[in-house]
Amino acid sequence: MSVDDLMTMLTAGLVGYGIAAGLARLRLAAPPAALMRTNVSGAQVPAALGGPLIVAGLTALACLALVAALGWDPARLGATGVAVAAAVVVMAIAGSWDDRRGDERPRGFKGHLGALRGGRLTGGVLKIVAGFVAGSLAGALLFTDDLQAAVATALLVALGANTVNLFDRAPGRAGKFVFLIATPLMALGGVHWAIAAAGMLGALSACLPLDLGEKAMLGDAGANPLGALLGVGLAVSLGGVGRWVAVVALVALNLISERWSFSAAIANSPWLNRLDQMGRK
């Protein structure tokens, strides 16, 4: 990554941070009643950070497109920028719709698919479909002549969106997981993705203290797009074998969650528990 690339990435991150911080403050001044949730501490907390996160991330992308049109080459992200925007928008729409439906009793793939067999469309089913739509769009944009890579991208985006959502069960946990995966991708992965993702990750930096402080939650509108963002990052940063290894790893995490609680596993691991509790009030 060149100095110009790094400057562009940092600037996009600052744009995302500033916009998200301002929007989150406005959003929390009068959060919609439909977004109120009971958190792990029993407090009523709005799942309202998705909107500020997405608006800030997409605004940063739009600013990059404008700067690129003015001649700044590091901001020319090509198909990667479009793929990130498409995946994020699709998952933001699906997540926002699910957030406004309120809490649903079916959990996990098994619960949602069981509800579908019974004739009931749950938000989880919609997000499964949206994940594959978002992933297919990203794969088609990124790998026009490589069907295998396009299919792997579709799976990575769909599974990534659901995986981050699985971690959104305690204050700040999903955001920490996103940064844990995104940091090496930003440093060692695709440069265009790192610049495209910087706005949303900067926005997450602004939202994470509110999540940790139990002032607000990411909600599906925040967690699902962040997972889709990671899916695109894995797709463009890994080779052919690496993508399928990542697919298998995400499938394993999703299957494990069907039988065992991530919260219990984290609580029983001293170092994971310390990381999980870090920054909480």
C-alpha torsion sign, points 197, 200, 203, 204: negative
User: What is the C-alpha to C-alpha distance for residues 70 and 82, in angstroms, rounded to an integer?
Assistant: 18
> Where would I find the H helices in 170-239?
173-188, 191-212, 220-237
* pLDDT (tens place) for every residue of the chain, 281 residues total: 788 999 999 999 999 999 999 999 999 988 888 888 888 777 888 888 999 999 999 999 999 999 999 989 999 999 999 999 999 999 999 988 888 776 555 555 555 455 555 555 566 678 788 888 999 999 999 999 899 999 999 999 999 999 999 998 889 999 999 999 999 999 888 899 999 999 999 999 999 999 999 999 998 999 999 999 999 999 999 988 999 999 999 999 988 887 888 888 888 888 888 988 888 87
Measured CA distances, 146 to 239, 240, 259 (Å) = 12, 10, 35
Q: What is the pLDDT of residue 120?
A: 57
pLDDT value of residue 37:
84
CA–CA distances in Å: residue 223 to residues 35, 80, 117, 278: 14, 20, 26, 19
Q: pLDDT at position 114, please?
A: 56
Provide the pLDDT for residue 188: 86
Q: What is the spatial distance between Cα 93 and Cα 97, in angstroms, rounded to a whole number?
A: 6
> DSSP for 118-184?
TT---HHHHHHHHHHHHHHHHHHHH-TT-HHHHHHHHHHHHHHHHHHHHHTTSTTHHHHHHHHHHHH
Which residues are paired to 36 by β-bridges? 46
Tokens 């039988």 belong to 259
Whole-number Å distance between alpha carbons of 56 and 214: 21
- Residue 38 has a pLDDT of 80
Could you tell me the sign of the dihedral formed by the alpha carbons of 162, 166, 170, 173, in that order?
negative
pLDDT tens for each residue of 171-224 = 999 999 999 999 999 988 889 999 999 999 999 999 999 999 999 999 899 999
The two counts, helices (H) then strands (E), for the chain are 12, 2
Instruction: Give residue 281's pLDDT.
Output: 72
**Tokens, residue 229:** 């963002």
Provide the angle, in degrees to the nearest 10, between the axes of the packed helices 220-237 and 147-167: 140
Question: pLDDT value at position 60?
Answer: 96
Rounded to two decimals, the pTM is 0.90
